[in-house]
Amino acid sequence: MSKISILGAGTWGSALANVLSKNHQITLYSALYVDFVYLKETRIIKNMNWIKIDDSIYVTNDIKEACEGSDYIIFASPSIYIRETIKNAQKYITNNQILINVAKGIDNETLETMGEIITSYCPNNPFVVLSGPTHAEEVIINHPTTIVAASKDEKVAHEVGELFQNTCIRAYTNDDVKGVELCGSLKNVIALAVGIVEGLGYGDNIKAALITRGMAEIRRIGLAYGCNEKTFYGLAGIGDLIVTATSNHSRNNRCGRLIGEGVPPMEATKQIGMVVEGINSLNAAVKLVEQYKTRATIILTLDQIINKGRNPKEVIDELLYKPVISELIDNKEEF
C-alpha cells in the first residue's frame, strides 16, 4: 500500500482519491478552508453531491501535512492555480517523491505546460502526467475508464500506471510528455467550439467536422512543438477530444452551448460554476498558433467569439464559405 497525496479536492482530485483509496492510503488536500470544512464534515464532493468520498480518505487544509511522508504527490488543482500550488508545496517535497500532474492547461503568459511549471520548481523529482478521456463523474461511480501515464522515464510511467491496478481505470504509458499535455489543453478549446455549434442548433455533421478538423489543428501545433505524431491519434489526443467535445459531463462543451445560445462568454462561465479550462487555455492556444505560424482556423475563429465579441452564428457560418482545399496538404489546411 502506497501513500498518495492529492493536492486539489475538486471533482477530478476527489474522484481519483476515491478510486485510489481502494488500494492505497490517501490524503486529500483542499486549499480553500470553506471547502475543506464542508468536505471533512459531510464527505460530500461539492460539485458531485450525489456521492461521498470514502471514509478512509484523510482530508486536510495543511499543505505541509499533505506532502510530507507521501510516496506520490498528485497535482489536481485547476491549471490557473498550479504555479501557486507547487510554490506552496515545494519546501515540503523531497527528491524521492514521484510528482504527478492531472491538470490540463497552458500558462497564458509563459506558454509553459503544467508539467514544465511543476518540474521548474522540483527538477530532481521523477515526473508523470496523467491524461486521457476521464470524466470524474464516471470514474467516481467506477465506470470503465482508460488513462495515459506519460513520462520520459518509462519505468516511472509504468509504476504510476500500476497504482490503478484492480480499479475501474486501465493505464497505458507514453514518453511524449509535451504531446500529452498539449492535447489535454487544446482539446478543451475545440470542445468549446463544438458546444457553440450545438447551442446554435446545428447537428452532428458539423460537430464531427469540428472534432476532426480541430484535431488537425492540434496536431499541426504539436508537430511544430516537437511532439510525437502518434500521440494525437491516441487516448490523450483524439480520445480525450471526443469525450470532451461530446459529453454532457464536459463543462467546456456546456459552456460553449450557452455561448451559442447567446449567453456572453463570461456569464456562461459563471453559469457553469466551475473552472472552464477551454476559456483559460484559449489565449495560449492563439499565441502558439502565432508563434509556430500554423493554420488554425477553428482556434482563431473561437478567439473572435470569446475575446472579440463577434456573433457566434456569423463567425461559424463564415467557415463554410472558405475556398475548396486539399484535406491532405498541411501547408494549405484550413477548416
Domains contained in the chain, CATH given: 3-175 (3.40.50.720), 178-332 (1.10.1040.10)
Q: Which of 46, 104, 178, 187 is catalytic?
A: 187
For the chain, list the strands marked E by DSSP: 3-7, 25-29, 44-45, 48-52, 58-60, 72-75, 98-101, 127-131, 145-150, 169-174
Q: What is the pLDDT of residues 194-240, one digit of tens each?
A: 999 999 999 999 999 999 999 999 999 999 999 999 999 999 999 99
**5 band by pLDDT with thresholds 50, 70 and 90:** very high
Q: 193, 210 in Cβ contact below 8 A? A: yes
Indicate whether 333 pLDDT > 80.
no
**332 band by pLDDT with thresholds 50, 70 and 90:** low
108 CA to centre of own chain: 15
Read off the C-alpha cell for 55: 471514509
Across residues 247-262, what is the average pLDDT? 96
The per-residue pLDDT of the chain, averaged, comes to: 95
Indicate whether 335 pLDDT > 80.
no
Q: What is the pLDDT of residues 10-56, one digit of tens each?
A: 999 999 999 999 999 999 999 999 999 999 999 998 888 888 999 99
Q: Which residue has the higher pLDDT, 84 or 275?
A: 84
Whole-structure pTM over 0.75, yes or no?
yes
64 is catalytic: no
Read off the C-alpha cell for 183: 492535447
Cβ neighbours for 324, distance < 8 A, ≥ 6 positions apart: none
In angstroms, the CA 202 to CA 250 distance is 18
Q: What is the pLDDT of residues 131-143, one digit of tens each?
A: 999 999 999 999 9
Radius of gyration in angstroms for the set of CA atoms belonging to the chain, rounded to a whole number: 20
Across residues 84-91, what is the average pLDDT? 98
Across residues 118-146, what is the average pLDDT? 97
